[in-house]
Amino acid sequence: MTDTFLQEQWYAAALSNEVTAEAPFARTVCGEDIVFFRSPAGDLRALEDRCAHRYAPLSLGAVEDGRLRCQYHGMLFDHTGQCVEVPGQDTAPEAARIKSYSAAESDGWVWVWIGRGVPRPVSDIPSLPYFDSGEWSGFQKYFHVKGAAQLFVDNLLDLSHLAFTHKESIGSASSKDAAPEMEFTVEGNMVRGRRYIYGVEPGPFIAGWGGFTGLIDRCSDYIWRPPSVMEIESKFMDATKKITVKVINPITPETETTSHFWMGWARDFRLDEDDLTEQAVVENTQVIMEDVEMIEAQQKVITARGELKPIPIQADRALMAVRTILKRLHEENNRQAAE
């Protein structure tokens, strides 16, 4: 049987500052209900969000010295998922054990390993180190989306939607923006692509960021990595200046029809202007909500009608390449599971 979600992967689960030693943090990742917390020293803990006793969500409970106490009858679980205390009893049943997950932290995100096998090294998590450096300035923000994660990946791989979905924000209504020059390559399990346009209106937000008054050239390089992490570096330039924006989007399935989406946005210009960061949060939220609105509407149609047979156009070539890689990875997992 094919797993609904690609297994044997690190998935982004939370922003680092959402997971604390004080209170549990619940999140459903790939259909699995997980509760995150920390030890007093800050080490990450991730457990199944379901008490072994009578299934109360442990995220309703309390973190006690790096362990988690169920709010219903007070059983205490350690970081391995073993119950170590039952109030009113001398010993805890050995069978009172829940699943624990491997969790790791990287560049402001908490990641969780979804799979049956040994987690790949943490160094395998995409490095996205742009939010805490002297050369970049930006923000990270979470969005819940009532649409499948793959619909958002499709959206980001197909930048031809900029001219339509984002014509009021980061795209221009120019016919050039609708027909940019695009190229992509497949490198192992990664898809890398480029979209460039010369002599185009910048769109209102980009004009504001760079102080552009006329036409600009724009070039976007993107990388997609499994399971669903997008990295886009965009350069906007005219004859006198060039600005660069990096956008990082980890996307994680919550259920088959809902997902978690993060916007990481970093710029290499006007670094000390906190006002610009605040403005960028507002503007990028608008951009993302333009996508979210479209994706949620698309999901409604798919849910109501079932996925019909999409008709690919040229702009979908990268998206098809990604689907081919995902299919291969699913097949590899299935083969290993069957061995």
Residues lying near ligand FES in the complex (CB under 6 A) are found at: 51, 53-54, 56, 70, 72-75
Residue 24 Cβ vs ligand FES, minimum distance, rounded to whole Å: 13
Cα dihedral sign, 151-250-254-289? negative
Say which residues have a Cβ less than 8 Å from residue 8's Cβ, sequence separation at least 6: 114, 115, 116, 117, 120, 333, 336
Q: Rank residues 71 and 277 by Cβ distance to ligand FES and give the closer one.
A: 71
Residue 206 Cβ vs Fe ion, minimum distance, rounded to whole Å: 14
Q: Rank residues 72 and 196 by Cβ distance to ligand FES and give the closer one.
A: 72
| Pairwise CA distance, residues 229 & 156, whole Å | 10
161: nearest Cα among 150, 152, 171: 171
Q: Rank residues 93 and 310 by Cβ distance to ligand FES and give the closer one.
A: 93
Partner from Fe ion, ligand FES, none contacting 328, C-beta within 5 to 8 A by type: none
Kind of pairing between the strands at 109-114 and 259-267: unpaired
Q: Which residue has the tokens 């997980």?
A: 34
Q: Rank residues 57 and 66 by Cβ distance to ligand FES and give the closer one.
A: 57
Residue 31 Cβ vs ligand FES, minimum distance, rounded to whole Å: 22
Quick check: 48 binds Fe ion (CB under 5 A)? no
11: nearest Cα among 106, 103, 113: 113
Quick check: 177 binds Fe ion (CB under 5 A)? no
* Nearest position to Fe ion, beta carbon: 291
Q: Rank residues 101 and 152 by Cβ distance to Fe ion and give the closer one.
A: 152
Partner from ligand FES, Fe ion, none contacting 208, C-beta within 5 to 8 A by type: none
Partner from ligand FES, Fe ion, none contacting 51, C-beta within 5 to 8 A by type: ligand FES
CA-derived radius of gyration, the chain: 22
Residue 325 Cβ vs ligand FES, minimum distance, rounded to whole Å: 41
Partner from Fe ion, ligand FES, none contacting 327, C-beta within 5 to 8 A by type: none
Cα dihedral sign, 324-329-334-336? positive
Q: Rank residues 57 and 208 by Cβ distance to ligand FES and give the closer one.
A: 57
Residue 37 Cβ vs ligand FES, minimum distance, rounded to whole Å: 16
Conformation bin of residue 318: beta by default, left when phi > 0, alpha when psi is -120 to 50:
alpha
The tokens describing 183, both together, are: 């190229």
Partner from Fe ion, ligand FES, none contacting 116, C-beta within 5 to 8 A by type: none
Residue 101 Cβ vs ligand FES, minimum distance, rounded to whole Å: 19
| Pairwise CA distance, residues 254 & 326, whole Å | 18
- Return the bridge partners of 37, or none: 45
Residue 255 Cβ vs ligand FES, minimum distance, rounded to whole Å: 24
Quick check: 291 binds Fe ion (CB under 5 A)? yes
Residue 241 Cβ vs Fe ion, minimum distance, rounded to whole Å: 25
Q: Choose the stretch contacting Fe ion; rule: CB under 5 A; options: 116-124, 194-202, 291-299, 308-316.
A: 291-299
Give DSSP secondary structure letters for 223-285.
EEETTTEEEEEEEEE-SS-EEEEEEEEEEEESSSS-EEEEEEEEESSSTT-HHHHHHHHHHHH
Q: Rank residues 73 and 300 by Cβ distance to ligand FES and give the closer one.
A: 73
Q: Which residue has the tokens 């109501």?
A: 304
Is 191:157 a contact under the CB 8 Å cutoff? yes
Q: Which residues bind Fe ion (CB under 5 A)?
A: 291
